[in-house]
Amino acid sequence: MAIVGAGIWGENHAKIYQAHPFCDVVAVCDQNKAKAQALAAKMNIPEHYDDYGEMFAKSGCDAVAIVTPDFAHAAVAVAAANNKKHLLIEKPLATTRDDVRAILDAVEKNNVRAMVDLHNRWSPAFNVAHQSVENGELGTPYNAYMRLNDVKWVATDMLPWAAQSSILWFLGSHSLDTLRWFFNDEVVRVYSVSREGILKGLGVDTVDTYLTTLEFKNGGVAHMENGWITPNANPCLNDIKFTILGDKGMISLDVSNHNMIQKYTDEKVTVPDVVVQHSIFGYPKGFAFESIRGFVDCILSGAEFPVSVYDAANTSIAILAIMESAKTRMPVEVVY
Ligand SMILES: NC(=O)c1ccc[n+]([C@@H]2O[C@H](COP(=O)([O-])OP(=O)(O)OC[C@H]3O[C@@H](n4cnc5c(N)ncnc54)[C@H](O)[C@@H]3O)[C@@H](O)[C@H]2O)c1
């Protein structure tokens, strides 16, 4: 593997590949050379670059992980595909229609494999719930509700580029992919209402929250809530709720506020993460890491990826429609 983007999530990619028995990271690139160099030293990666074109030409990697900010995936993905590298692209696939098309064209033209890291499909709770839909226990999905919010700190402190992205790209892409997967259908019409001001007041010029109604082609309806303004005292980084109702049954998830583990100190109460990303005897564990490991496994075995680049493309196109709806305050038909 080679990695482009030596930031927070790029380091996680490196840990997973280095822990995989049949995979190594041969090179890392960051436009900030010092970051590439530091990650190479920390994770025992032989080569580092500040120019991804040079890395693709020289490193001899089979596949590339693209872990640059949300708006900076397309140029790297197209260049990697043109160098005949398989691609694991971080979510969202891309944030403009032109970028989505450019990536699909490059993947098809070069006949490379591409997966997007929409990892909620690997979440144990969501995956088991999905099995109940697949095996017919819930009947035909009728309606659903999904909340996927972050505490404010993610927008104000964690991501230097939050103002150049949106909670819809950062978490809404996971929500929309999950809902498309449960309904096994495409969104045809959206209506979204957004609010802003809290994050702007904190110096981050981005929307606070979107409340969206989605209509699916075969009649399913879903409500989707994505916000970046959950109070920082929330015991988890995320606030995740999900309900799906079919004509034979219903399933509900409360993934963030489970009662499996609570930690109390004199300062605060927290719910340590034992589901999304953690470490057991030094090995990276959790579903956010399973998806990345799964990419390597599928490249080795030739198996299909559980989430395709076309899933991710349609998710990005539907998010653009949601943004248009929130701006125009009108329902918008999604044109793929
Ligand atoms: N799967 C998940 O749930 C998950 C979780 C966290 C982040 N992510 C995604 O991972 C991506 C990176 O997020 P992050 O938190 O690591 O961001 P980050 O800011 O910590 O790191 C991004 C790095 O990319 C580098 N970079 C930017 N443009 C570049 C270019 N053209 N060439 C080389 N390097 C470049 C920056 O210098 C920076 O070091 C985002 O798309 C984010 O949404 C996914």
* Per-position pLDDT tens, the chain of length 336: 999 999 999 999 999 999 999 999 999 999 999 999 999 999 999 999 999 999 999 999 999 999 999 999 999 999 999 999 999 999 999 999 999 999 999 999 999 999 999 999 999 999 999 999 999 999 999 999 999 999 999 999 999 999 999 999 999 999 999 999 999 999 999 999 999 999 999 999 999 999 999 999 999 999 999 999 999 999 889 999 999 999 999 999 998 877 889 999 999 888 899 999 999 998 999 999 999 999 999 999 999 999 999 999 999 999 999 999 999 999 999 999
Please identify which residue in the block is written with the tokens 């198996």. 303
Check pocket membership of 91 for ligand 1, CB cut-off 6 A: yes
Check pocket membership of 14 for ligand 1, CB cut-off 6 A: no
Q: What tokens does 158 get?
A: 């964690």
Please identify which residue in the block is written with the tokens 């949601």. 322
Q: What tokens does 252 get?
A: 């509900």
Q: Alpha-carbon distance 217 to 188, whole Å?
A: 6
Q: Choose one of 68, 91, 240 to mutate for the ligand 1 pocket test, by most ligand atoms within 8 angstroms of C-beta.
A: 68
Q: Alpha-carbon distance 276 to 212, whole Å?
A: 25
Nearest ligand 1 atom, CA 72: 28
C-alpha distances (whole Å) from 192 to each of 215, 322, 325, 329 are 12, 6, 6, 7
